[in-house]
Chain A
Amino acid sequence: MLNPNQNNRDQPKLTDRKPITIRMSYIPDLAGKISDAINFILMSLNFQLEQKMNFDKMVFLEPMTLQDSNGKIITLIIKEIENDPEIQHIIVHTDDCLRDYHKYLIAGIEFVNRPEYTAAGLQVDFLGHNDRYTLLEERTYTESL
């Protein structure tokens, strides 16, 4: 389950963002087995690798830009950790949770629940290798759209 505090800390507020078609999202979550996570994202979620970037390799392992099948681009930064805990949590942002839930469902992704409403928006959790993923559509409820 998404930790709302963690999400609020890591992401700018939705209302602060400009309505751009390409969205950059930095996800400093930890993934246990980096290569498995990347393969899962590329093969199962159908993201395409756009480019790798040279950040400080002492901190980050192979930051990369990915593009999903809807043309949205994210920058994924996965940090490797020494202890390799069994399950880590990666948040995949979307602008339409139900659309992508349906798409991944057809692609055979194993969901652990149905899309549900939280204070952060609409989200659903799924599993991929050793990691747990949250597909999250952030929504703002303070002002009408």
Chain B
Amino acid sequence: MKFIRVLKNNNQISSETVKHAFYPEHISNFSIKTVFNGNTSYNIGRRKLNLFPDSFLAINQGTSYSSKVDSYVPVNNLSISFSPTFLSDFYRSHHKTQKELLDEPIFNEEISENFFLETIYPFDGDMKYNIMHLKQQLEQEAPDDLLVNEYLHHCLINYFKVYKNEVVSKSENLKFLNKSTKVEILKRLTLAKEYIISNYNKNIDLEDIAQSACLSVNHLLRTFKQAYGKSPHQYLIQVRIDRSKYLLKHSEYTINEIVEIIGFECPSSFIRLFKAMNKITPGKFRLNF
């Protein structure tokens, strides 16, 4: 299934289900990218990200990127592109007082290109509910622009909430006095986190993660724990277990196959860790769904 919906205010939603596709380098408005099964890889400058169904990708206005799908199973992508005016108006309406909005009702200044931290965020909670509803409406109904814009307005509300949890609060966890140092460290830790999420099923080590973030191993270990409350290795294990839960719920792979897919060395260590973290075995977890 494929659709593109362009609204009168230039917001745009597109979706496509493909096994193999390459989208050459291009520039877009601020966009939110999701994938509903399989994965899509993105090249943003020198960064290579793999997007899975439990994450969404936020790309800033003006960023140049390409993407690729190469899969045995059909991969369903959905992309939402926000017009600069819509984004700017949303931001003002949530950050200005009523008086300021009345004094200056029309404001054409765009949000700067690097305003948001361009990275992978968890795709769950309200963000997922709203995008799933929007997707369902666009696939099954013919919603008018007002309703689609209402969904998009709430996508931005949800995105700001996720941004606050994932960026602002994590930045506050860092024990540096200098604000610009905090910002720079968090940017580099984000690269480390992206690297773990994108390569969770490979045999990666601390040196690889540190190199991806342009940090020394010791600096990475100290700051990663401060920001995210767990070591890079613990974070990697969490990503692998979360992916296994997704596969247990949404696929028919055997547990041995899942162990291989998520990069564990043997089923027994996977089952032991899964049970320790979820108080239930993978087999019983699957039966509950």
* A interface residues (Cβ-Cβ under 8 A, vs B): 96, 98-99, 101-102, 115, 117, 122, 137, 139, 141, 144-145
Contact = CB atoms under 8 A, between A and B. Distances in A.
B129 interface: yes
Contacts of B146: 102
B154 A96 contact: no
A139 B129 CA distance: 8
B51 to A, nearest CB: 16
Given A139-B129, A144-B124, A144-B128, 6 more contacts: A98-B130, A99-B147, A101-B150, A102-B146, A137-B129, A144-B242
A145 B129 CA distance: 8
A115 B132 CA distance: 17
Closest 8 CB pairs of A and B: A102-B147, A144-B124, A96-B133, A98-B150, A141-B125, A145-B128, A139-B129, A102-B150
A19 to B, nearest CB: 11
Nearest to B157: A117
A98 B130 CA distance: 9
Interface residues of B, number: 21
Contact of B133 (A98, A141, A144): A98
A98 B154 contact: yes
A102 to B, nearest CB: 4
A96 B130 CA distance: 9
Interface string B100-131: 00000000000000000000000011101110
Contacts of B150: 98, 101-102
Contacts, number: 37
B91 interface: no
Contact of A98 (B54, B151, B242, B245): B151
- Give the dominant DSSP class at B's interface: helix
B246 interface: yes
B54 A122 contact: no
A122 B147 contact: no
B218 interface: no
Interface of B: 54, 124-126, 128-130, 132-133, 136-137, 143, 146-147, 150-151, 154, 157, 242, 245-246
A144 B129 CA distance: 10
A4 to B, nearest CB: 16
Contacts of B130: 98
Contacts of B136: 96
Contacts of B242: 144
Nearest to A70: B141
Contacts of A144: 54, 124, 128, 242, 245-246
Contact of A145 (B132, B137, B151, B154): B132
A117 B126 contact: yes
10 contacts: A99-B137, A99-B147, A101-B150, A102-B147, A102-B150, A137-B129, A139-B125, A141-B125, A144-B246, A145-B124
A101 to B, nearest CB: 7
Nearest to A141: B125
A144 to B, nearest CB: 5
A144 B250 CA distance: 12
A122 B129 contact: yes
A13 B58 CA distance: 33
